[in-house]
Amino acid sequence: MKRIWLVGVIAVAALVMAACGPATPAATSAPATEAATSAPATEAATAAPAAEPKIAILLPETKTARYESQDLPDFKAKLKELGFDVDKNLIYSNANQDAAAQQQQAEAALTNGATVLVLDPVDSDAAAAIADAAKAKGVPVISYDRLIKGTDAVTYYLSFDNEQVGKLQGESLLAALAGKTNPTVVFINGSPTDNNATLFKAGAHSVLDGKITLGAEFDTPDWSPDKAQDEMTQALTKLNNKVDGVLAANDGTGGGAIAAMKAAGVSPLPPVTGQDAELAAIQRILAGEQYMTVYKAIKAEAEAAATLAFDLATGVDVPASMVNGKVNNGKVDVPSVLLVPVAVTKDNIKDTVVADGFWKASDICTADFAAACTAAGIK
């Protein structure tokens, strides 16, 4: 069983890599014949070379650890490996959860000569305008991790099976609540502007509805952990601290919910879900404060995005074998690369995030967690 997800992730990664092996940049300068026939020799020799391809990556926020500590460095490292000059030709912006700021960042990237946009949208609907503007300039758009909806200007979508993420959270919570009749569960969902949050929520409800009592439910603006903490505080007041489980959409919101419960004196803490396999969450799982997280192989995702972006930027045909699905964005079916998410509890930290090199045992097993690491066989 443990091997299955690894095989899934590796298979897709291998598929992606095999399909897009080192690409030779397409000729970006004027063909030789043209230079020879249209301009005197001296002019041809001094003419400015055609602009080099530029890739822009636009990420949505900084409160969630993954973007700046994993997505961006993994994306850059892969581009470098492919021979792309990231210092000179990569444009990076982070919108800090501000959709209007992201729109401006995208416009600036296009003005500054971006020839491919890799966009993880703050707002899945509003980002259609960004994709349309890119398309008008002939710039392909990769919808990164979150789907850009309602436009035909998305070239590829690259993500995980996000409804499955919610299902894994729901199934794990149900397993943790086995033996309780009609347990009271609080849902702390993600940002209502993020299409992924809608899918996580739908996946979790599809598993839990009819088997639990919904104590309270919130969509968390901006995925803010602070707002999640406030939401959980409200839920505890409403429910007189009687909560059997918390379906939190990611580790940031899960951490906020746990902080609220600790502040309200809830003990023992009920099972809490999460997502992203953040270091702090893995440590909370070891300490028994959080029940589970969902591991998504961000490296595979970022590397696939880099490979696609490089091929598009350098004019290499992306082989059809690279995509493994299609996702409808309300306007068109977008060719997609979808990776496999994995549920992580105390029992399989070692065989998932550690085995995959996502975290080293030494990252996780600091002094406070040394004993829990030994008990979980992590070394």
H helix or E strand, kind and range, residue 228: helix 225-238
Residue 356 interacts with ligand BGC (CB under 6 A): yes or no? no
- Of the pair 223, 310, the CB lying nearest ligand BGC is at 223
Q: Is 218 in the site for ligand BGC (CB under 6 A)?
A: no
**Spatial distance between the Cα atoms of 85 and 25, rounded to a whole number of angstroms:** 12
What minimum distance in Å lies between the beta carbon of 295 and ligand BGC? 11
Tell me the DSSP string of 333-367. EEEEEEEPPEEE-GGGTIIIIITTTSS-HHHH--G
Task: Determine if 290 is a binding residue for ligand BGC (CB under 6 A).
Answer: no
Q: What is the residue type of 91?
A: I
**Of positions 74, 145, 244, 301, contacts ligand BGC by CB under 6 A:** 145
The one-character DSSP state at 218 is E
Q: Cα separations (Å) of 99 from 71, 93, 117, 127, 282?
A: 19, 12, 16, 8, 30
Identify residues 51-80 at the interface with ligand BGC (CB under 6 A). 61, 64, 66
Our finding on whether 275 is near ligand BGC (CB under 6 A) is yes
- Given 75, 187, 218, 223, the residue binding ligand BGC (CB under 6 A): 223
The correct pick among 161, 163, 219, 276 for binding ligand BGC (CB under 6 A) is 276
Shortest Å, Cβ 262 to ligand BGC: 22
Residue 244 sits at the vertex; the CA angle it makes with 241 and 245, to the nearest 5 degrees, is 110
Least distance from C-beta 247 to ligand BGC, angstroms? 14
Does the protein bind ligand BGC through residue 301 (CB under 6 A)? no
Please tell me the distance from the alpha carbon of residue 361 to that of residue 365, in angstroms, as a whole number.
6
| Contact status: 222 vs ligand BGC (CB under 6 A) | no
**322 versus 339: smaller Cβ distance to ligand BGC:** 339
CA-based end-to-end distance of the chain: 22
Q: Which of 142, 195, 185 is nearest to 165 (CA)?
A: 195
Find the binding residues for ligand BGC in span 238-257 (CB under 6 A).
250
The distance of closest approach from Cβ of residue 157 to ligand BGC in the complex, given in angstroms and rounded to an integer, is: 13
| Cα 355 to chain centroid, rounded | 20
The residues that touch ligand BGC, with contacts defined as CB under 6 A, are: 61, 64, 66, 145-146, 190, 194, 196, 223, 250, 275-276
